[in-house]
Structure 1
């Protein structure tokens, strides 16, 4: 191979590697546990602090939602989708969509987890607190 061609090839590969390392992708790579049944589907960064409403929302989420949507809304492989995901950004799934999902259930349309049944035992205030928690997690993870 021509020496100048080899140098150009090495330089191009190096530039591509530097570019790839210095630019974020649209989605964070899923954790290794995404391959494990019930494991988280996405990696979620946690805010240092949450508002009072989001703190209440976290408690409700942990009790009523985490079984399917995972700890910190990271999803659960084979169980339910991550809510800290660009699909659920406010411009695509407004807060009202979360309210309707809890009240009426949702037909599967973005994921292959099956339909979400309606969820009983939660007040509108409970769901609003959960939404605050999810939105704060989303903002911490660059989803706005």
Structure 2
């Protein structure tokens, strides 16, 4: 029983430490003009589904998540960020966010509403685009 309590306490401490680190990173990255990109993004040559996803992203997501998913100060978080790496936010998280919306949990931008008229095929292309950008920027 004592072992389980220590494990639970260690888990709570680890989660709190991670939260504090992310909050610190958030504040330092927000020292930019309103609406400005929050991170620098290297963009590779896009082809196929990634190119299609870029157009869909620009039409449906960039108003909050910024051009090239770099985030927008005061509007939405960057998707080119270690928080959104596949091991933490699998592709399914993007589908759920687009189709159902998502409650704010990593950033202070507020809840994300569902994206009207978004189907699974469109989200698949957007995910391909975002993952392509992430890989180019060292997020695996």
- TM-score between the two structures when normalised by the length of structure 1: 0.76
Query: Among 28, 34, 37, which residue is 1:37 paired with?
Result: 34
Aligned-residue offset at 1:76 = 0.1
RMSD: 1.6
Q: Is the counterpart of residue 50 in structure 1 residue 46 in structure 2?
A: yes
Larger radius of gyration: 1
Please say if residues 99 and 119 of structure 2, whose CA atoms lie closer than 8 Å, have aligned partners that are also in contact: no
- Shift of the alpha carbon at 1:34? 5.1
Q: Does 1:141 align with 2:132?
A: no
Q: In the comparison of the two structures, how many residue pairs are matched?
A: 114
Alignment-derived partner of residue 127 in structure 2: 131
CA distance in 1, matches of 2:138, 2:116: 31
More helix by share: 2
2:62 to 52, 66, 70: 66
What's the CA shift string for 1:3-32, capped at 9, x where partnerless? xxxxxxxxxxxxxxxxxxxxxxxx9x95xx
Q: Cα offset for 1:55?
A: 0.2
Deviation per residue, 1:122-141 (Å, 9 max, x gap): 11000000000000000000
